[in-house]
Copies of this chain bind each other. A is one copy, B any other.
Amino acid sequence: MNNFSFFNNTKIIFGEGQIAQLTQEIPADATVMIVYGGGSIKKNGIFEQVTSALEGMKWIEFGGIEPNPHYDTCMKAVEQVKTANVDFLLAVGGGSVIDATKFIAAAAKHQGDAWEIIQSFGGAVQGALPVGCVLTLAATGSEMNPTSVVTRADTQDKLFFNSDYVRPRFSILDPQTTYSLPARQVGNGVVDSFVHVLEQYVTYPVNAKVQDRFAEGLLSTILEDGPKALTDPQNYDVRANLMWAATMALNGLIATGVPGDWATHLIGQEITGLYGLDHGQTLAIVMPAVWTYKLEQKREKLAQYGRRVLGITEADDLIAAEKAIVRTREFFEAMGVRTRLADYDLGADVIPQVVAKLEQHQFVQLGEHGDITPADAAKILELAL
């Protein structure tokens, strides 16, 4: 096991009816900005639950956060934060809304050009408004981590930053809020959380037994209950298990003491930045290709994953690993998320564009060994055509 530090001080309030707890978590004299996305929360009753809980407090709203939230949209929110003297940000939505809220929180306190926050990967953040969350989609894990991903539409850059200042103070997770999600978002969310676990698990063995088994437990849960969320969308236990699994998948816990890959995420982000594919779609395209390209290095952990999670009984590691890749692709497809560039009308001509973006962003040493260069990424994408 590798040395590590672990710290996570986000309070989780989980279960049906917990949105009413908001009053306990936000200072009574705060001026709150409710940040949300396309407005579905106004149709499904969540906005009403939130504003009922905030009754008697001062609040304003800022809607219209896009999937892959735009820097320009966030900066408009920052203006309103300053005008209205907002001192608490409440994200109501999925990962995009929470990521945007984190950026708004940091940008509202930032001196100078807010894009420095991204360019410094968060190092330039010296403070932030407090952030709370009401989660409505099991997917990104943003509700319990210090990470945010923001997209600059004009330059097609989708980039992340990390800062302890933007960790949510609390996140309310009511599985019922996910009942009305469209199948496409359910599928993307399941793939996203599944891939988060895999990025921290399918690397090379370091004899970290707790971390491996926690990762396998999350994978088994998502594998079992993911498809049920499509066929039985109002099953509370299914939604609850997926929601808790997604939060645990990227809150730092299973990353402790083990290597991380993240090549799939970083290559996938460039595809979203350039062509607008959903985040989950890019992961489903890239991960099987990364694994095929790095089969020899990842053989042992792929075989372990195949045997412990997928029930593969093959004794030979290499064959078990190959079967695990096939089965993973089948799972993504079963969740309605296609796994080839061609499925999205993209061809080999995208490869040099993605490579150029990776070089521009200096993502030139990817993977758990730091040995995936942009030239390797090109070969990986050829396997994903």
User: Interface on A for B, CB 8 Å cutoff?
Assistant: 1-18, 207-214, 216-218, 220-221, 224-225, 237, 240-241, 244-245, 248, 253, 256-257
Closest to A217 in B: B213
* Listed A/B pairs (27) with beta-carbon separation below 8 Å: A1-B240, A3-B14, A3-B15, A3-B16, A3-B18, A4-B15, A5-B13, A5-B14, A6-B11, A7-B10, A8-B8, A12-B256, A207-B237, A207-B241, A209-B221, A209-B224, A210-B217, A210-B218, A210-B241, A210-B245, A210-B248, A213-B214, A213-B221, A216-B217, A240-B257, A244-B257, A253-B253
Known: A209-B221, A240-B1. A257 touches B214 (CB 8 A): no
CB-CB under 8 A from A7, the residues of chain B are: 9-12
Report the bound CA distance from A18 to B2 in whole Å: 12
CB–CB A257/B15 < 8 A: yes
> Separation in Å of the A372 CB from the closest CB of chain B?
27
Which chain B residues lie closer than 8 Å to A9 at the CB level? 7-9
Partner of A216, one of B13, B213, B245, B257: B213
- Residues of chain B lying within 8 A (CB to CB) of residue A213: 213-214, 216-218, 220-221
CA distance A12 to B9 in the complex (A): 12
Q: Kindly state the separation between the CA atoms of A273 and B119 in the bound complex, as whole angstroms.
A: 59
Q: Within 8 Å CB of A216, what residues of B?
A: 213, 217
Residue numbers in B under 8 Å from A6 (CB-CB) = 11-12, 14
- In the assembled complex, the Cα of A209 lies from the Cα of B218 at a distance in Å of 8
Residues of chain B contacted by A1 (CB below 8 angstroms):
14-15, 237, 240-241, 244
List 8 tightest A-B contacts by C-beta distance, closest first.
A213-B217, A3-B15, A9-B9, A7-B11, A209-B221, A207-B237, A6-B12, A1-B240
B-chain residues with CB within 8 Å of residue A211 when the two chains form the complex: 244
Contact in complex: A5, B11 (CB < 8 Å): yes
Q: How far is the CB of A94 from chain B (nearest CB, A)?
A: 19
Minimum CB–CB distance for A134 against chain B, Å: 15
Measured in the bound complex, the distance between the Cα atoms of B241 and A240 in whole Å is 29
Q: List B contacts of A212 (CB < 8 A).
A: 217
Taking CB atoms, residues of chain B closer than 8 Å to A237 are 1, 207
Complex: chain B residue closest to A170, CB-CB: B7
Q: Tell me, in angstroms, the Cα distance from A47 to B203 when the chains sit together.
A: 37
CA distance A8 to B252 in the complex (A): 13
Chain B residue nearest to A239 (CB atoms) is: B1
Complex interface: chain B residues within 8 A of A224 (CB)? 209
Q: How far is the CA of A216 from the CA of B17 in the complex (A)?
A: 29
Interface centre among A3, A211, A257 (most CB of B within 10 A): A3
Contacts of A15 in B (CB 8 A): 1-4, 257
A11 CA / B164 CA spacing, docked (Å): 13
How many whole Å from A311's CB to the nearest CB in chain B?
13
